[in-house]
Amino acid sequence: MPIDLEQIKPLIAVALAEDIGPGDITSRFTVPEQASGLALVMAKQEGVLAGLGVCRQVFLTVDPELAVEQLKQDGDALGLGEVVLTIRGRTRSILAAERTALNFLQHLSGIATLTAAYVAAVSGTRARILDTRKTTPGLRALEKHAVACGGGQNHRMGLHDMVLIKDNHIEAAGGVGAAIRAVRDADHGRVTVEVEIQNHAQMEEAVAAEADIIMLDNMSPERMADACRMAWSSPARDRGRLKLEASGNVTLERVRAVAECGVDFISVGALTHSAPALDFSLRLKPLG
């Protein structure tokens, strides 16, 4: 999903206020007010780029007179030492924006890089890598953008755009079938209905009630393969309707085995809640 820079301007303002506060006292004491410079933002690791537009916007928020040029695009593969952004203008402004700008860039590029590793691991299978709602509060749109940059697919944005019936919903509704029927009766088939199941009996209920997507939660590869065979033999699968999603503790080491069970989707919370940052640095050259 693309980033709406207008929507994230308040987030940038909060991040800058957190870091700069009343002012950058180090630069005020050490950098002449009229000093100018040329800064290069470069990758210190190989990876996949995400969040460059946000990074650029941070510098322009601090000082709209800075000349900021993007040399790469989100989704690009990065080599060690590649320059992704140049900034020319007031040195104090560049230094005030530096940490916040790099924080966004490092975090989002880390997500894109980890996602790309998962996508590569399942290459050649039918499985597609999905994100989850396990995101940093306030950063969901940015983090899901980063997943897309890495080749993953975005799952639902929130509780409002898709039905996902989980164990607590099932308990409250009185069973898998009852929960699905309650949605169908209320919504008349307008929204996608996904249900989380944990055993064979629940799988049978979900197929009979015609769920659109069945999530296989924390299953062994053997049980997943059995569930896939059951789905393949159902009329709903023949009509191209029923899809299967694997979820729960899917590590990079085991994602290939999960994909080879035959699932259509694999959701990975770690993409957004545990991706290590991709390291970038800013090198400043004084211009006068």
Write out the catalytic residue numbers: 99, 134, 166, 196, 217
Q: Residue 42: which residues within 8 A CB-CB, separation 6 or more? A: 81, 82, 83, 84, 280, 281, 282, 283
Given a contact cutoff of 8 angstroms between Cβ atoms, the answer to whether 91 and 36 are in contact is: yes
CA 22 to chain centre: 33
Given a contact cutoff of 8 angstroms between Cβ atoms, the answer to whether 27 and 37 are in contact is: no
Tell me, what DSSP letter sits at residue 275? P
CA 48 to chain centre: 13
CA-wise closest residue to 72 among 43, 115, 110, 37: 43
CA distance 16 to 101: 9
Residue-by-residue DSSP string for 257-268: HHHTTT-SEEE-
CA distance 93 to 107: 22
* Amino acid present at 200: H
CA distance 219 to 15: 40
> Measured on CA atoms in the order 271, 273, 276, 277, is the torsion positive or negative?
positive
Residue 254: CA count within 13 A, CB half-sphere:
13
CA distance 42 to 79: 10
Give the pairing type, strands 243-247 and 265-267.
parallel
Tokens coding 10: 């308040």
